[in-house]
Structure 1
Amino acid sequence: MISKSTIDQVYETARLEEVIGDFVQLKKSGTNFKGLSPFTDERSPSFMVSPVKQIWKDFSSGKGGNVVAFLMEHEHFTYPEAIKYLAKKYNIEIEETERTDEQKEQANEKESMYLVSEYAQKYFSEVLWERELGKAIGLSYFKERGFTDETIKKFSLGYCLDQWDSFTNTALDKGYKLEYLEKTGLTIVKKQEGQEVRKFDRFKGRVMFPIQSMSGRVLGFGGRILTNDKKAAKYLNSPESDIYHKSKVLYGIYHAKQAIAKEDNCYLVEGYTDVIQFHQRGIHNVVASSGTALTPDQIRLVNRLTKNITVLFDGDAAGLRASLRGIDLILEQGMNVRVCTFPEGEDPDSFSKNNSLEEVHQYLESNSKDFIQFKASLLIKETANDPIKKAETVRDIVNSISKIPDRIKKEIYIQECAQLMNISESVLFNTLAQIGKKEIADEVKKQKEEQKPFQVVKNKVVQEKLDVQYVLEKKIIELLLLYGDTTQQFDDLLLKEDDKGDLILEKETVEARVFEKIYLDLQEDEIELTNAKFRDIYYKLIEDLNEKEHFEANKFIGGLDQDLVSEISSILMEEEKYILHEWERKEIYPKEKSVSIGQLVSETILTLRCYLIKKRIGELQEKTQDPSLDNSEILQEIMNYLNLNSLLGKKLARVLS
């Protein structure tokens, strides 16, 4: 277990905007930061970070919370893992007791797979550096590639001995289960009826490239064979598993994320060594698709950090034209694409190894073309003087332009294409319109095919009824979170009898902490919050505010379940939601709060009292509908409530004024 003092130090030291900035590109927005949601596919920012409140809210997915909640949501960390990650980031020493065998046993399946993968990475690195065969074969290979000791250690490169089950047996001896060795793909298990179970190391005789998540967790491995065995694949990746989905991972993203955000550009290459050699040369904003076709999920991973991608192709890339499909996918995500090819016979690995940092930078700057120029120059070579092929090329380029969601960018690219291909803009715009119409027609056809026969779709106008009690209970939680431990003056209007015995309101000024005032007022009227989440948060807040001299929302959130954390972040970030709309640019200025905190508390409690009285009156009136019953007592109760409601209405009017 991690000690409370360590957890407190982590919360006091960690800066939310810094931690989230490692995963999402954030831009200043007043006192807050905003960015694209890391949980949904969107083009307009709906993700808000408040450095003052130290909470975040994603308005597109509804998720939110503090710094630990972000890591648990985004990286699927457990609570202790999130604390450890932050402690490591801010160089905080962790005080904890050793986990018992029983606690290790209780770790869930996914966590067990992570632990096995992390052990494997350490094992392969240890073999590379400390075993004679590892040094002679694996380390020698990396040195021949030109990698320094520092680079090899930074990327946690390793070697798997050329033995059938050396790694598997060592892992089993260390207490790791065969079930998880098999599920991560590190071990191949063959079971034949009546025979002993046979176990093999998947990466036998290969140098190892750990594949890490954006937070640095080991998800899987890539292994390169060093022999000339024609039957074996040159590169072998871990199979798909619960923790490794190759279509959602980019090699090098962990080491590149900060540089990508800082440089506002990402270089996309094909292989592991391309990434490592670029990084060693001093260009850190580079990732690889690891030999797989580029996917929308991989593009979205980059989109969180920057809008700009530069795709780097080998000089003699055989599948260059096929790779152009990846460019269309990038354009569909609303990103800006540039393309750079290296001289024939060169790739990013060799070029960065044989040239200085300045020369590499200069080459990339001089030879990077926007996708229109690149595609046109590539396809024009193929068309030569063939007008039919030229027409196909033009349509191909316009089809790529049609993928761009931004209309202004579309028009600029059409103009550029017209100049390059020596064709009128009107023809290109007409072609673009035809492609758009065809896409709409195809979509309509698809919907018709999916629609059941004789199904009638009616447009219904649904008017949502406002849940007054929900709004008021939410406001009470907000007041407790924002001002609960502050001392305020409250103008109480007490119900008293005058000389004639009539009820009157008498003003009395009291000083109290906000949480005490709310708690006592609700207790007096025996009011209990009806929303289960609000009720749970309410009692936890009252307890925390009562026990602690200084209330800190960030620490309070840390001890709650994730569904309550999300609810609280929604409440605290409600006002920030309106910043996203940038109303000032539209000359709409939201009204600022001008009432005092004391007045706001009194108004909320009184409004809730009035609402509950009206609700009770309605319930009693329903009981009087039966003419066979004597309703005199009920009618008297209704009259009492009506009088009380009238007095409270006057009391509320005075508070509001």
Structure 2
Amino acid sequence: MPSPVEQIKERLDIAEVIGSYIKLEKAGGNFKAKCPFHNEKTPSFFVSPDRGTYYCFGCGAKGDIFTFIQEFEGVDFPEALKMLAERAGVKLSDRKNVNYKEHSELYGILAEAAEFFVKNLKDNPKARKYLLNRGLKEKTIEDWQIGFAPDEWRSLFEYFKAKNVSDEKLLAAGLIKKTSEDGKRETFYDVFRGRIMFPISDSRGKIVGFSGRILVATDKAPKYVNSPETAIFKKSEILYGLDRAKKEIRRMDYSILVEGQMDLLMAHQEGFANAVASSGTAFTENHILRLKRLSGRIIMAFDADSAGFQAAKKSAELSLSLGMEVKIAPLPKGTDPAELIKSDLSGWRDCLKNSKHIIDHYLDTLLTSGISGRNLAKEIKLNVLPIVGLLPSSIDKSHFVSQIAKKSGLREDAIWQDLKITAESGMSQDMEDGLEELSHHRNHIIRKLVGILLWQEGSAIKNIDVEDLGENIKRVLGSENFYKLYKQYGDNREELVFEVENYYGDGSILERDLSELLVHFEEDALKERLVSAMRELQVSEERKDEGRSAELLSVCQSISERLAELSKKSKASF
């Protein structure tokens, strides 16, 4: 029987799928368009319905409907599989740790809970008045399904009990908690009581949880209560508003990160639809990578207080370390985005327009703090240079070193020396942490290759030579890195095997696809080596080390020749 992936590909035309996202023009037997993954004036993005693939001759983006959805929507393979299966009408079978029936029931319960909260908001003038006073319009309240949880212990619980929804399902949805009376009889109560309710949606727009803000503040009750993690709600993967912001982030080529729901809602209401919110949870690597798939640029607009500064600092540094271009919007002291948008919309626009690169922001903050002399030099070394060291571009590093010297009065050569010490200490730490960070594209390929390896190792019927595949990966990565990687991904064996098993089904297309994957894998590895060799070449030329320069030049030429060979193979496969 064909795998779900093969069934989906049979039922969905790749041109129709991609054409629902971008405008395609007929080009012989293919279609062409301006690439959605990089800026260009002349179309170089081609879609081949016969092959079921796409390829951009400008940036090298390539793949099938699944990789397109992953890249365009900013989701992983299981999520892309769900989205396309729903579109194609293909039923996905239950797998270990991936119970689709259970998930479907949870989505239904949460959608009904949202309707319950919306109805209760209409019946609560005080809650409506609060939202309107904060600046929200009726249309925004309705569009975002904002609701209200009655200030009662069991109102939602009783509502669902009347509909014969089990306690277990309500617990699994994160809507109720249980306690016991005298350690004997279990009782249940609502998680959300007396709160303004903000539904939290996944990348497909399906409600997976809630965030509730207290309406009448008390000393005992926290200001916000969020849904607990469930089978469908993972806090490290969900950003509030991302499902609605994706298209605008890609169009504007930058995202705006705010902290709270009200900040996000006010931004979207006034036309800043590329805003997303962390909603009081830690901003994680997963969040950043989801945003990076849509755009590599981000403006952080956090509250102008010490807590907001610390949150922005941590988020900005993590984003920068993952290759994002990070700017900070300078909000007036004592304000948050929601208040500023309501009271001074042009001031909010100016904040975004005048946002500064994180390094400029840190430096200017220090320079206006009153610190001077040796103390200033110490603060720059401790707080600014580590951020400069995170920049992947040598040109960018040079630019900021010059800026620091110019603004602070410190000698440029002294700054370079301290930066070198900072970078060396960081490098030794990275080596202790294990494998160097891989690019998103290369990481995607490695994940798939290791998944195939794990699947075939445990399969009774072998479709490929497992030992040969392992040797091919080792040849590119090296044995030590291969075993580290194998252990790292092996911790997620079930998830990886699920992905490839669904993708390749009976294995009939595995051998052909594996050949292409190995070509792309080697291609990406060589590109990284070429960049590294070119940087080393630049250093050796500056030192006038002719012998080392000649050696490195030969290495660069050899890598370039191999890349040219692999590029021909890639284009031929399209």
What TM bracket, shorter-length normalisation? 0.5 to 0.7
Counterpart of 1:121 (choices 107, 114, 130) is 114
> Quick one: which amino acid aligns to residue 414 of structure 1?
V
How much does 1:120 deviate? 1.5
Write the mapping of 1:488-567 to structure 2, written as runs, cut at 5 A: 532=463, 561-564=502-505
Write the mapping of 1:250-289 to structure 2, written as runs, cut at 5 A: 250-289=239-278
Counterpart of 2:363 (choices 362, 370, 376) is 376
Q: 8 Å contact 2:302–2:311 — kept in the other structure?
A: no
Write the mapping of 1:208-287 to structure 2, written as runs, cut at 5 A: 208-287=197-276
Deviations 1:169-188 (A, max 9, x none): 11222232211211232101
Measured at CA, do residues 32 and 120 of structure 1 come closer, stay the same or move farther in structure 2, by a change above 3 Å?
Answer: same
Deviations 1:9-47 (A, max 9, x none): 98359733356789xxxxxx98895859xxxxxxxxxxx
Asked whether 1:426 is paired with 2:413, we answer yes
> Whole-Å Cα distance in 2 between the matches of residues 531 and 316 of structure 1?
60
The aligned counterpart of 1:404 is 391
> Quick one: which amino acid aligns to residue 364 of structure 1?
L
Counterpart of 1:416 (choices 381, 403, 410) is 403
Paired residue secondary structure (1:248): coil
The aligned counterpart of 1:590 is 568
> Whole-Å Cα distance in 2 between the matches of residues 593 and 271 of structure 1?
46
Counterpart of 2:49 (choices 33, 48, 52) is 52
Q: 8 Å contact 1:206–1:224 — kept in the other structure?
A: yes
Measured at CA, do residues 8 and 409 of structure 1 come closer, stay the same or move farther in structure 2, by a change above 3 Å?
Answer: closer
Larger Rg belongs to: 1
Measured at CA, do residues 51 and 572 of structure 1 come closer, stay the same or move farther in structure 2, by a change above 3 Å?
Answer: farther
Paired residue secondary structure (2:198): strand
How much does 1:564 deviate? 3.0
TM-score (ref. length: structure 2)? 0.66
How much does 1:321 deviate? 4.2
> Whole-Å Cα distance in 1 between the matches of residues 78 and 138 of structure 2?
29
How much does 1:420 deviate? 2.1
Write the mapping of 1:323-472 to structure 2, written as runs, cut at 5 A: 323-356=312-345, 360-365=348-353, 367-382=354-369, 384-443=371-430
Measured at CA, do residues 364 and 50 of structure 1 come closer, stay the same or move farther in structure 2, by a change above 3 Å?
Answer: same
Counterpart of 1:197 (choices 178, 186, 203) is 186
> Whole-Å Cα distance in 2 between the matches of residues 585 and 50 of structure 1?
27
Measured at CA, do residues 339 and 364 of structure 1 come closer, stay the same or move farther in structure 2, by a change above 3 Å?
Answer: same
Q: 8 Å contact 1:380–1:390 — kept in the other structure?
A: no
Measured at CA, do residues 442 and 362 of structure 1 come closer, stay the same or move farther in structure 2, by a change above 3 Å?
Answer: closer
Q: 8 Å contact 1:314–1:341 — kept in the other structure?
A: no
Unaligned runs of 5+ in 2: 1-7, 24-30, 39-44, 56-61, 92-98, 435-460, 466-500, 528-559
Measured at CA, do residues 591 and 323 of structure 1 come closer, stay the same or move farther in structure 2, by a change above 3 Å?
Answer: closer
How much does 1:430 deviate? 1.5
How much does 1:287 deviate? 0.7
> Whole-Å Cα distance in 2 between the matches of residues 165 and 285 of structure 1?
38
> Whole-Å Cα distance in 2 between the matches of residues 158 and 373 of structure 1?
41
Of residues 217-226 and 289-298 in structure 1, the stretch that sits farther from structure 2 once superposed is 289-298
Asked whether 1:139 is paired with 2:136, we answer no
> Quick one: which amino acid aligns to residue 390 of structure 1?
A
How much does 1:146 deviate? 2.0
Of residues 329-338 and 171-180 in structure 1, the stretch that sits farther from structure 2 once superposed is 171-180
Deviations 1:142-201 (A, max 9, x none): 222221222112211111111111111112222322112112321011135664321111
Of residues 346-355 and 318-327 in structure 1, the stretch that sits farther from structure 2 once superposed is 318-327
Asked whether 1:157 is paired with 2:146, we answer yes
Question: Identical aligned pairs, as a percentage?
Answer: 25
Q: 8 Å contact 2:48–2:54 — kept in the other structure?
A: no
Paired residue secondary structure (1:198): strand
Measured at CA, do residues 533 and 433 of structure 1 come closer, stay the same or move farther in structure 2, by a change above 3 Å?
Answer: closer
Deviations 1:429-474 (A, max 9, x none): 2112212222333455677xxxxxxxxxxxxxxxxxxxxxxxxxxx
Measured at CA, do residues 49 and 408 of structure 1 come closer, stay the same or move farther in structure 2, by a change above 3 Å?
Answer: farther
Pairs aligned (count): 439
Paired residue secondary structure (1:174): coil
Deviations 1:356-392 (A, max 9, x none): 4x55434421x21111211012123335235224322
> Whole-Å Cα distance in 2 between the matches of residues 49 and 290 of structure 1?
39
> Whole-Å Cα distance in 2 between the matches of residues 445 and 585 of structure 1?
31
> Whole-Å Cα distance in 1 between the matches of residues 359 and 126 of structure 2?
45
Measured at CA, do residues 168 and 258 of structure 1 come closer, stay the same or move farther in structure 2, by a change above 3 Å?
Answer: same
Measured at CA, do residues 285 and 319 of structure 1 come closer, stay the same or move farther in structure 2, by a change above 3 Å?
Answer: closer
Paired residue secondary structure (1:156): coil
Deviations 1:541-561 (A, max 9, x none): xxxxxxxxxxxxxxxxxxx95
Q: 8 Å contact 1:240–1:246 — kept in the other structure?
A: yes
Paired residue secondary structure (2:199): strand
Q: 8 Å contact 1:252–1:288 — kept in the other structure?
A: yes
Measured at CA, do residues 391 and 192 of structure 1 come closer, stay the same or move farther in structure 2, by a change above 3 Å?
Answer: same
Deviations 1:611-655 (A, max 9, x none): xxxxxxxxxxxxxxxxxxxxxxxxxxxxxxxxxxxxxxxxxxxxx
> Whole-Å Cα distance in 2 between the matches of residues 337 and 10 of structure 1?
41
